[in-house]
Amino acid sequence: METFQTFSEATGGQGLTIFDIDKTLFHSDTKVNIKKGGKIIKRGVSSWAKLGPGEEFDFGEYKDAKRFARTATPIGKMLGKAKAIIKNATKVGSKVIFVTARADLDDKKVFINTFKAHGLDMSKVYVERAGNLGIDTAKNKTTILKTYLDSGKYARVRMFDDQLDNLKGLLSLKNNYLDIKFEAWLVSREGRISTVR
């Protein structure tokens, strides 16, 4: 397992760590569907799928907090990494956020308690819901991250995500923040990580 320095050791300043949720920290049976005329016509499609005339994505399952609680299966390596980073980073005044493609869920308490049930200290983590900004997940996540970087608080930012486009979105900001060190980590289905440059 890779080891990560605390931000104060690595940079002498505060850092920001971002974790995606779905397929990065947890697997679940939540699916994206396609609707036409108000009815679901295709189940379990990629959110990158092409839509036909009159079709639209249905993210209803992603708003179901009880479904997430019932089916969330932790990705062990990543959950362990998240726990360690939350514990260490917050000791030195750094910040950890979860940035999900989901919009607001129907029961915030059930959603947050799912993380707590798996040993994550959610009193030290804020969940940003990129789905509230529309369906372009990579663009939405980049918009959220830019807001944090614009604060001028961080000397380092690192992101763990299973989608390359989301990580490229983070890296696309590098030239705007020359005094911040950027790290992007692609997460495999099994929880292995590889750096993206």
Q: Supply the Cα-derived Rg of the chain in whole angstroms.
A: 17
pLDDT at 68 over 90: yes
C-alpha to C-alpha distance for 58 and 146, rounded to whole angstroms: 27
pLDDT at 112 over 70: yes
Nearest alpha-carbon partner for 99 in 22, 4, 176, 187: 22
Nearest alpha-carbon partner for 47 in 164, 135, 106: 135
C-alpha to C-alpha distance for 177 and 182, rounded to whole angstroms: 9
pLDDT digits over 120-171, tens only?
Answer: 999 999 999 998 898 788 899 999 999 999 999 999 999 999 999 999 999 9
Q: Where are the domains of the chain?
A: 7-28+73-196
- Strand-pair partners of 96: 17, 125
pLDDT digits over 46-58, tens only?
Answer: 767 888 999 988 8
- Strand-pair partners of 95: 16
Mean of per-residue pLDDT scores for the chain: 89
User: Hey, what CATH topology would domain 7-28+73-196 get?
Assistant: Rossmann fold (3.40.50)
pLDDT digits over 5-23, tens only?
Answer: 444 444 457 999 999 999 9
Helix ranges, the chain (H): 7-11, 65-71, 76-91, 108-117, 137-149, 164-171
pTM attached to this predicted model = 0.86
Nearest alpha-carbon partner for 4 in 151, 185, 173: 185
DSSP 130: G
pLDDT digits over 69-108, tens only?
Answer: 999 999 999 999 999 999 988 777 899 999 998 999 999 9
The larger pLDDT score, comparing residue 33 to residue 18, is at 18
Residue 158 CA neighbour count, 13 Å, CB half: 25
